[in-house]
Chains A and B, each alone.
Chain A
Amino acid sequence: SQQGEEDPQALSIQEGENATMNCSYKTSINNLQWYRQNSGRGLVHLILIRSNEREKHSGRLRVTLDTSKKSSSLLITASRAADTASYFCATVLGSGNTGKLIFGQGTTLQVKP
């Protein structure tokens, strides 16, 4: 079954509002990464958070990680129309792995101007 699962599958908000996306996973991880994908394009790396970290910030992005609950959240503050995209979490397993990323199905975010 899928290692990472995002929630919600789709989110529609007004420009200026905050957007929160959640990701759950099943097994122990080395790190968790968030990516953005604009329609038909490649993935853009947003943030990497390691298993011993609880929170990271990058500009308007805030990522939290709760290893006890095996979950992470991505918060985009003061959203803009340009934030419209699909957002994926991906995990790197904690042991015996090749560094492969296991992706969730993604959250589609629409920010209305």
Chain B
Amino acid sequence: SQTIHQWPATLVQPVGSPLSLECTVEGTSNPNLYWYRQAAGRGLQLLFYSVGIGQISSEVPQNLSASRPQDRQFILSSKKLLLSDSGFYLCACSRGRTDTQYFGPGTRLTVL
């Protein structure tokens, strides 16, 4: 079965600083990959998804970007963080577009 790793687990960054969150997947090949953000006490909002290397689709216009340099690596980035970027970021993978999505442990980002 697949295992999803995310790091760092927590991150505190000043406004205007860059961001790089990494997600790697083990135990499956050519997965669909997703980045979600969860605001405090709320459900998850899809930010980006990828069906293959170099293929990124954005769901919500924002200050963030995503890249998929390798089959099982998904990176979330920002050049300049905003206060509103604070939240809990979750990476997920699935085998097919309608299959179960499995989530990583998440990264809690606080922008001060």
Contact = CB atoms under 8 A, between A and B. Distances in A.
A-B pairs, 3 with minimum CB distance: A99-B97, A103-B43, A43-B103
A42 B106 contact: yes
B59 to A, nearest CB: 7
Interface residues on B, range: 20 to 34
A62 B98 CA distance: 21
Interface of B: 32, 34, 42-46, 49, 51, 57, 59, 88, 90, 92, 94, 96-106, 108
Nearest to A97: B97
A97 B98 CA distance: 9
A101 B35 CA distance: 11
A45 B100 contact: yes
30 contacts: A30-B98, A31-B98, A33-B100, A33-B101, A35-B103, A40-B108, A41-B105, A42-B104, A42-B106, A44-B103, A45-B101, A45-B102, A48-B99, A48-B100, A90-B44, A97-B97, A98-B49, A98-B51, A98-B97, A99-B99, A100-B34, A100-B46, A100-B49, A101-B46, A101-B101, A102-B46, A103-B44, A103-B45, A105-B43, A106-B42
Given A31-B98, A45-B100, A99 B49 contact: yes
A21 B54 CA distance: 39
Nearest to A45: B100
A31 B34 CA distance: 18
